Chain A
Amino acid sequence: MKQKTHISFTLNGEATEIAFAPHKTLLEVLREDLALTGTKHGCELGECGTCTILVDGRAILSCLMLGLDAEGHEVKTIEGMAQGAELHPLQHTFADLGAAQCGYCSPGFLLVAEELLQKKPNPTRSEIQEALSGNLCRCTGYIKIYEAVELAAARMRGEEMELPRESVYGLE
């Protein structure tokens, strides 16, 4: 029989212990052993960014990290992004702008964007593009994602920012 390994870490703010086969990636441990299926996968080879989570506040590809290496660290997945029933401002703006079309890449984009706004509360469009460049989205053309990050950033800075009309209705 396989011998399971056992780790303790902080998962979405809660102390967590879990046993799993030692060769498993953190992606597999989260999805298969902890039933947190909000973290998605698109390649399992570190190519698409879909499985991004935050480890100690840094965006990490969970398909390239062994579950074992999570020992003692703080891990945040999409399930831990909202505060209770209150969505994170990024989750609100992604929903409001249709930045999540099929929604499959959205957890990864949301967490990368959260890290970005932690570091840079007022990012330029090109800083947003660079920060998100490791994540592929096939639905949106990224435009609504940029706009959602910009709108959330403004709201998190406490600014009243109306959405540009042309983002929703197009140009006159």
Chain B
Amino acid sequence: MAWNKPSIDSLKVVGKPFRKVDARAKCVGQTKFADDIVLPRMLLCKMLRSHLPHALIKSVDVSKALALPGVIAIITGKDLPIPYGILPVSQDEHALCIDKVRFIGDPVAAVAAIDEDVAFDAMNLIEVEYQPLNTISSIEEAVMIDEPRIHDYGDEGNIHKKVSLEFGDVEQGFAEADLVREDTFFYEGNTHLPMEQHAAVGHYDADKKLTLWSSTQTPHYVHRALTKVLELAASHIRVIATPNGGGFGGKSDPFNHEVVVCKLAMITGRPVKVTLTREEVFYCHRGRHPVLMKVKTGVKKDGAITGMHFQSFLDGGAYGSYGVASTFYTGALQTVTYDVPRYKFQGLRAFTNKPPCGPKRGHGTPQPRYALEVHLDKIAEALRLDPAEMRRAHLVEPNSTTANYLRIGSMGLGTCIDKVVKGSDWKNRFSGWNQTNRKLPAGKGIGIACSSYICGAGLPIYWNNMPQSGVQLRLDRQGGVCVMCGSIDIGQGSDSILAYIVAEVLGIDPFDIRVVTADTDLTPVDLGSYSSRVTLMTGNAAIQAAERARELLVVAVAEKLGVPIENLALAERRVFDVENPEVGVSFAEATVLAESKFGTIGTVGSYSPPRSPGKYKGAGVGPSPAYSYSAAVAEVDVDPETGIVVVERIWIAHDVGKSINPMLVMGQVEGSVYMGLGEILMEEMTYRRNRNVVHKFPSMLEYKSPTTMEMCDIKTYLVEDPDPNGPYGAKEVGQGPLLPVPPAVANAVYDAVGVRIDEVPITPEKVLRALKDKSRGREPRYGPDSVPTVEWPEALRVLTPAEGGDGREMPRVAVHS
């Protein structure tokens, strides 16, 4: 139906810094997080976890624990025999281990008792007999040692997954290059550290219907996992995601504690709550994979890339989790910032006896982005080019398709680079690779890096043809509007985005709207808060639902007023004639007219991403409706006596397409910079290898993260290059701005003191080691020298779009030498 869509300049809500719809509740302590839920007769649950990293379970004896007064039920692995996992290809977890434990923290039994103290005492009375097995503690060990296998599935031995893809002839690219450079890097693992510990409450009611409240980012996937493991009809399970007290990817898997409280609730007929201790949160993990990387790039004298070969080795920990996707992500997005005409990727994920790794903010891409951006800095030095100008000169084209078939829409990276170069006074401060003629004082340096990120994964986690996001809108006869969506607010403001967009279309105030989200009984499916998909996908679904409601309103009002439909506008809680604005009705009257004419007013909207042109095996990871872009310049002060790196300031520009709410976009950019800063300077999940892969420091005190005293100043620029696939042109902001921060800091450290730290985090010890090597005339560098020798599968070859490829792999041909 024809109606006058407001121009981008006349938007009343979108683009304005409104408060979040839940801001007041969060500031007065009214927001109910999972652990705040208390139900009558509720039991408390504790889980007994393995103290061994790899062992067979010979026996579990719960008799003493069951005899303790106040203990109501105890379950072990045999009570939950069906495996699950977030990806259909790695259903390798049991809620409680049955015959084997695979890392310190793997749960073996669960107690439900009248209070937490009794549950704790009972947990300590459970007797488990283990038979220890040799452990696999690193990527290198996993590659070399086949037995004992941590899992009885996977590509071979303790290698979970190996992939090999080649787009175009990379050797030809190297042959055409003026310079071919090869570097190795290591990015240590780190964890999300959400302030809220995971918590869940299960309740099995008198009608034998199960409800789970949980601090999860993916209620829909938890719903599916519970259906499978508990063998209940999906229609008898309700999952309500409570507001997440921080997620960052760490609450995106279906978790054993969620399954356990449901099972205990079914057995006892009473509500059961579990709240993890901080130590247990470290064992839940699913955080950043440690990744060892080798990158080889051919370039022309002006820095134009002729070919790239990227290898990554991921330490996956003890379970699959999102790991297969993570592996592909370490190789997928190298092509979406600068033009890479030929590209080869080989990736390997190892199983080790450590807490499982998974998706953390940037999922699988901060590690290769760090490697790539430091590698490009070294190339710029070798070519004596300004690293900002070199990057600026070879950007990927907007509205193009990359060598690996990712379709680029809007691309604001050039503007981002210009903003941070100007803002940081780059030209007057960068040393220009000339340490003897420095512009900044000794010890101070400046570095640049760029990046890009997806705005939602193009494909759902399980194969289906249904929308990825649904929104339902209900208008009541007194003008009330309720928007319902399966999305879950993890602090990023996804509830508010729904309200802003519906308010914009219907011409009302966002605070007139009630938002109901993340409840599988009440809200249409949205796949969850991951892959930076929520604003783009729920936003588009909300626009569709709201425009359908708007249509019903204007038809009814046009009839009443005798005004042509196309003359009607909705604004300031009125529906009125744009030619005679005094002729109109209130929004509430409009809902009465519409309900009188059409019956109860409810509309729906949904969103499915466009199909990707990539059809080869492995093409499922990387495609997205749009890509965000970021550029960052970091300024550091390095003390050569202590090796301590102080990041003084970061200039960051982020192409968000269009800010639905600039204040919230600023918050996401600043939060991403903060998290990137923590990763490059201090955060690491490390283990005592000589003591059976015990976590070194599963506590907030010893796992170092930036406090106010370490946080740097941030200068933020919001760049708006609207993407046709985004709602009002909006792209993502929650993850992308993290990506350029670690390499920008690493490059700044080199500018400051002339040492390359090719291993994240950049700790004082590493800086001192490299400075010492430099003073002795050795290579001024700290980092890995090699990667394991691996027999890779024959690369799956795909012709690039420029070569006339159709997105499919070429038939395999036997090669005889």
Contact = CB atoms under 8 A, between A and B. Distances in A.
- A-B complex is real: yes
A172 to B, nearest CB: 8
Interface string A132-172: 11111111111110100000000000000000001111111
Contacts of B670: 140-141, 143-144
B664 A169 contact: no
Contact of A141 (B28, B31, B664, B671): B671
B814 interface: no
Contacts of A35: 38
B44 to A, nearest CB: 10
B29 interface: yes
Given A43-B700, A81-B28, A168 B666 contact: yes
A19 to B, nearest CB: 15
A98 B664 contact: yes
A103 B27 contact: yes
Contact of A87 (B24, B664, B672): B24
B26 A139 contact: no
Contacts of A134: 707
A136 B29 contact: no
Interface residues of A, number: 61
Contacts of A36: 29
A47 B701 contact: yes
Most A-side CB within 10 Å, residue of B665, B670, B672, B708: B708
B532 to A, nearest CB: 15
Contacts of A25: none
Contacts of B708: 128-130, 132-133, 135, 142, 146
A66 interface: no
Interface stretch (A3-11, A54-62, A67-75, A105-113): A105-113
A141 B700 contact: no
Interface stretch (B2-10, B159-167, B243-251, B366-374): B243-251
Contacts of A106: 26-27
B667 A87 contact: no
A110 B27 contact: yes
Interface string A27-53: 000011001111111111101101000
A87 B36 contact: no
Interface residues of B, number: 65
B23 A100 contact: yes
B26 A141 contact: no
Contact of B248 (A94, A138, A143): A138
Given A44-B277, A47-B701, A138-B248, A102 B667 contact: no
Contact of B278 (A43, A82, A95): A43
A43 B701 CA distance: 9
A78 interface: yes
Interface stretch (B190-198, B375-383, B454-462, B579-587): B190-198
A103 B243 contact: yes
A65 interface: no
Contacts of B491: 101-104, 139
B246 A140 contact: no
A14 interface: no
Contacts of A139: 246, 491, 667, 671
Interface in B675-721: 675, 677, 699-701, 705, 707-709, 711, 714-718
B707 A136 contact: yes
A169 B699 contact: no
A81 to B, nearest CB: 7
Given A104-B195, A133-B708, A169 B662 contact: yes
A41 to B, nearest CB: 7
Interface stretch (B14-22, B395-403, B470-478, B780-788): B14-22
A96 interface: yes
Interface in B483-501: 490-493
Contact of A105 (B192, B195, B673): B195
B663 interface: yes
A79 B29 contact: yes
A143 B672 CA distance: 12
B620 interface: no
B701 A167 contact: no
A81 B26 CA distance: 13
A2 B795 CA distance: 68
Contacts of B243: 102-103
Contacts of A136: 195, 700, 705, 707
B17 A103 contact: no
A45 B662 contact: no
A132 B38 CA distance: 31
Contact of A95 (B27, B31, B245, B714): B27
A77 B707 contact: no
B135 to A, nearest CB: 28
B196 A104 contact: yes
B717 A171 contact: yes
A47 B277 CA distance: 13
B28 A138 contact: no
Interface string A115-139: 0000000000000111011111111
Contacts of B38: 32, 35, 37
A133 B27 CA distance: 20
A135 B195 CA distance: 10
15 contacts: A36-B29, A38-B28, A87-B27, A94-B23, A95-B20, A98-B19, A102-B26, A102-B243, A102-B245, A102-B246, A104-B194, A104-B246, A136-B705, A144-B666, A168-B17
Given A100-B23, A139-B667, 5 more contacts: A37-B38, A82-B28, A102-B490, A136-B707, A171-B717
| Nearest 9 interchain pairs by C-beta | A38-B29, A102-B491, A103-B26, A141-B674, A104-B245, A78-B29, A95-B23, A37-B36, A101-B491
